[in-house]
């Protein structure tokens, strides 16, 4: 008997470490554990989230449920590491739990089980509780009550508990190995969809249209399914390449940015993009639109230009139109330079222009979208069409000299009904081997297939621009 007890004791001692190693301790972490949050938001509706949490984990192999992540997280982009004990912590398996609680899913879990239904008895003015077996939750509920089948039933359904495989919020679950009982500073980063930003600008023109004041605002839109408290916010301006994987989901390949603890936004170059780093912490709530001032510039010198644009296909055929009038487009142009009180990389967005009328009321006069604009580049905004500057185009001659050789003659009449002189630019896009045979006004060759006329038109006057053109195709 003693020999059998010794053998049993030896077996327990021998296998007890293995049993302990297989035990999985379950730990949970919520947003309350956060000590730092960084949010980098890109133009193409994605955000890079990087947060650090303080956690004490049991030694050995365990399970960590990391709660409070974005609903639109890209699980394949998750990266986790311990900042202070990197060699003592590793993740061996990751699961993303997104089977969130709702009424239908709860009822699905109770198919075939007994539930309670609370009904208000109007005649007796009291609540009544009915026990029922839920037979189906497919396009409506079917119950068995007192050996009878009910298709639907009024009342409040009462369930005994929430099944373990349903969760209230999206959760990352990690199976980890941990070889220290010290407190970890656990850094987790991931990409999420539905977190984006855009820039909008207001340009207020001076009375003489020679200068303007510009203010820019960032609009941040968070529909990612998470709130980021006291976050360090960075906006990335530039076109980041995205790759579509075989499942049709877009992922992004990029290096994680280093934290930069650095007035409202500070602009810095970053790779082939630009970072706008908010110089204070801000809370970005879920389902919130937040606006933050981006830039202010006063006394920006501008040019107003009137532009008439031709069409490339009209020069090798008879040109017939019921109405010879052409739109005279109005453009506002200015340089993004230090001499012009700017000299900042300007993110893409919409610029809206305003001007005060004679009574001092500020009125909207037009808008246009700009691309990302580097320092030293020109910004050109199409504002609308001129009311009092008129252009009329007439083809006064055409002949086809041979199969590939065409000759046409044109007259463009410019009328100015304004109280001031204007300059109208005529842009003619050409094709093939072209040459101007004769012309009433000098022109400029802008490129291989474009010529322009720079025509002064005095107030209450009209000017006729004539030229003959030969094109070989």
439-459 average pLDDT score: 96
Question: What is the percentage of the chain residues whose pLDDT exceeds 70?
Answer: 88
CA terminus-to-terminus distance, the chain: 111
170-197 average pLDDT score: 92
pLDDT attached to residue 235: 92
Q: Residue 295 and residue 297: Cα distance in Å, rounded? A: 7
- Give yes or no for a contact between 369 and 350, defined as CB atoms under 8 angstroms apart: yes
Half-sphere exposure of residue 112: CA atoms within 13 angstroms, side-chain side: 1
pLDDT attached to residue 99: 58
What domains are there in the chain, each with its CATH number?
Answer: 103-158 (no CATH), 302-328+386-472 (2.60.40)
Token output for 371: 């691309």
**61-75, 175-189, 231-245, 366-380: range with lowest mean pLDDT:** 231-245
pTM of the model: 0.72
Q: How confident is the model at residue 23 (pLDDT cuts 50, 70, 90)?
A: very low
Q: How confident is the model at residue 7 (pLDDT cuts 50, 70, 90)?
A: very low
Q: Residue 172 and residue 31: Cα distance in Å, rounded? A: 13
pLDDT tens per residue across span 406-424: 999 999 999 999 999 999 9
CA distances from 341 to 92, 136, 216, 334 (A): 55, 70, 14, 11
């Amino acid at each position: 008997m003693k020999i059998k007890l010794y053998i049993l004791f030896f077996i327990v001692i021998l296998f007890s470490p293995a049993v302990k190693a297989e035990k999985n301790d379950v730990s949970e972490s919520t947003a309350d554990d956060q000590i730092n949050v960084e949010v980098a938001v890109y133009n193409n509706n994605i955000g890079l989230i990087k947060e650090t949490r303080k956690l004490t984990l049991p030694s050995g192999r365990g399970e960590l449920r990391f709660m409070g992540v974005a609903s639109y997280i890209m699980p394949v982009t998750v990266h986790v590491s311990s900042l202070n004990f990197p060699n003592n912590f590793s993740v061996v398996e990751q699961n993303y739990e997104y089977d969130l609680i709702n009424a239908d899913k709860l009822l699905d879990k109770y198919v075939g089980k007994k539930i309670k239904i609370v009904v208000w008895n109007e005649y007796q003015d009291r609540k009544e509780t009915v026990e029922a077996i839920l037979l189906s939750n497919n396009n409506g509920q079917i119950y068995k009550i007192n050996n009878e089948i009910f298709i639907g039933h009024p009342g409040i359904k009462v369930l005994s508990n929430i099944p373990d495989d349903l969760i209230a919020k999206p959760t990352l679950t990690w199976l980890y190995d941990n070889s220290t009982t010290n407190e970890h500073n656990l850094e987790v980063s991931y990409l999420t969809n539905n977190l984006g930003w855009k820039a909008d600008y207001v340009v207020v023109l001076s009375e003489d249209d020679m200068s303007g004041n510009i203010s820019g605002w960032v609009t941040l839109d968070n529909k990612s399914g998470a709130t980021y408290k006291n976050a360090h916010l960075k906006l990335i301006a530039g076109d980041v390449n995205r790759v579509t994987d075989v499942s049709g989901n877009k992922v992004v390949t990029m290096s994680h940015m280093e934290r930069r603890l650095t007035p409202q936004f500070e602009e810095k170059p970053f790779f082939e993009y630009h970072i706008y780093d908010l110089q204070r912490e801000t809370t970005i709530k879920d389902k919130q639109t937040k606006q933050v001032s981006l830039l202010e510039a006063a006394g920006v010198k501008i040019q107003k230009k009137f532009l008439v644009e031709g069409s490339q296909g009209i020069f090798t055929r008879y040109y017939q139109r019921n109405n010879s009038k052409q739109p005279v487009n109005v453009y506002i142009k200015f340089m993004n330079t230090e001499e012009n009180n700017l000299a900042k990389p300007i993110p893409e967005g919409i610029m809206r222009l305003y001007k005060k009328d004679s009574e001092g009321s500020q009125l909207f006069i037009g808008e246009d979208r700009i691309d990302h604009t580097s320092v030293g580049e020109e910004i050109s905004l199409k504002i609308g069409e001129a009311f009092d500057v008129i252009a009329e185009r007439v083809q006064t001659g055409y002949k086809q000299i041979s199969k590939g050789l065409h000759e046409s003659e044109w007259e463009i009449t410019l009328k100015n009904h304004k109280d001031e002189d204007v300059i109208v630019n005529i842009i003619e896009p050409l094709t093939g081997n072209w040459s101007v045979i004769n012309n009433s006004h000098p022109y400029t060759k802008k490129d291989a297939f474009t010529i322009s006329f720079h025509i002064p038109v005095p107030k209450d006057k009209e000017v006729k621009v004539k030229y003959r053109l030969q094109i070989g195709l």
